[in-house]
Structure 1
C-alpha cells in the first residue's frame, strides 16, 4: 500500500526533471538522487524513478540524433559553396556569399531537425506534468516513445 508520502515523492521525482531549465543536467541528477535513495522503500517510487530516468535518457538519444542531423545539414549548406583555401584564408565570413538556393534540401533537413528538437522539449514538459499528476494519485504512468534502459 502506497502512502501519501510515497505518492508525493514519486511525483517530485518526475517534477525534478524540470530542474534542467535552471541547472544543467538537473533532469538526470535530481531524479537519480531521489530514486536511488527511496527505491527500496516503495515499489511506486521505484517504478516512477525508472520511468523518468528512462524517459530522460530516451530524450537525450532523440536530441543527439536531431543534432547529428542538423549540424552536418547546416554545415553542408554553409560551406558547400566555398573552397577549403577560401575558408582558411578568409578573415571575414559573410552569410551573403552562400548559395542558399542550391542548398535548399540541406537547409530544410536542418530546420526540420531543429523544429523536431523543440517539439520534443515542449512535449516533454507536458508529459512530465501528466506523469507527476498520475504519480500523486498513486497510478502508474509510462511515457510514450521511451526506451527502457533501466528495467
Structure 2
C-alpha cells in the first residue's frame, strides 16, 4: 500500500521592499531618526535639545557619502531637531523676558512641542525602516 505524498514547494524568500532601498540603508536611516530620542534622553539634564541633533549629525556625517537614503533622512532628522531646538530656545527666552509670567503660555507649549517631537520622530523612524522618505512637517530646511 503506497501513500500519496505531496511535496510542498520550498518557502519563498522574502522579497525586497518595493522601494528598492537596501536593508542596511533603511536601518541606518531609522537610526538617524531614533538617535535624536537617545540623545534627548541622555542629555536632557544638561544640554536639553542640543543632544537631540548630535546623533543625527554624526550618522549623517559618517554615512552621507556611501548611502544616499541615509544622506536624505539624516538631513531631514537633523533639520527637524534643529528646528525643535530653536522653538525650545525661543520659548525659554520668552519665559525669561517676561520674568516668569510667560511660563503660563510657554510650559504648555513646551509640552505640546515635546509630545509632537516624540510622535513625529517615531513615525519618521518607522517610515525610514520601510524605505519611505519621510518629511517632517513645520521644519526649517537649513541643511540641504
Normalising by structure 2, we get a TM-score of 0.77
1:12 alignment partner in structure 2: 31
Contact residue 67 and residue 114 of structure 1 kept, 8 A: no
More helix by share: 1
Match of 1:47 among 54, 62, 72: 72
Which residue of structure 1 aligns with residue 10 of structure 2?
none
1:56 aligns with 2:71: no
Gaps of 5+ in 2: 1-19
Q: Does 1:145 align with 2:109?
A: no
Q: What pairs with 1:130-141 in structure 2 (closer than 5 Å)?
A: 130-141=123-134
Structure 1 regions of 5+ residues with no counterpart? 78-106
What do residues 40-68 of structure 1 show as CA deviations (whole Å, max 9, x unaligned)? 11211011000010001101111111112
What is the DSSP-based 3-state SS (H/G/I as helix, E as strand, rest coil) of the residue aligned with 1:138? coil
Partner SS, residue 22 of structure 1: helix
CA distance in 2, matches of 1:2, 1:40: 15
- Count matched residues: 119
**Equivalent residues in 2 for 1:2-151, closer than 5 Å:** 2-19=21-38, 20-23=40-43, 24=47, 25-73=50-98, 75=99, 107=101, 109-151=102-144
Distance 2:137 2:36 in 1: 16
Map of 1:82 onto structure 2: none
Alignment RMSD (CA, Å): 1.4
In structure 2, the partner of 1:88 is none
**Given the two structures, how large is their TM-score scaled by the length of structure 1?**
0.74
- In 1, Cα distance between equivalents of 2:92 and 2:107: 8
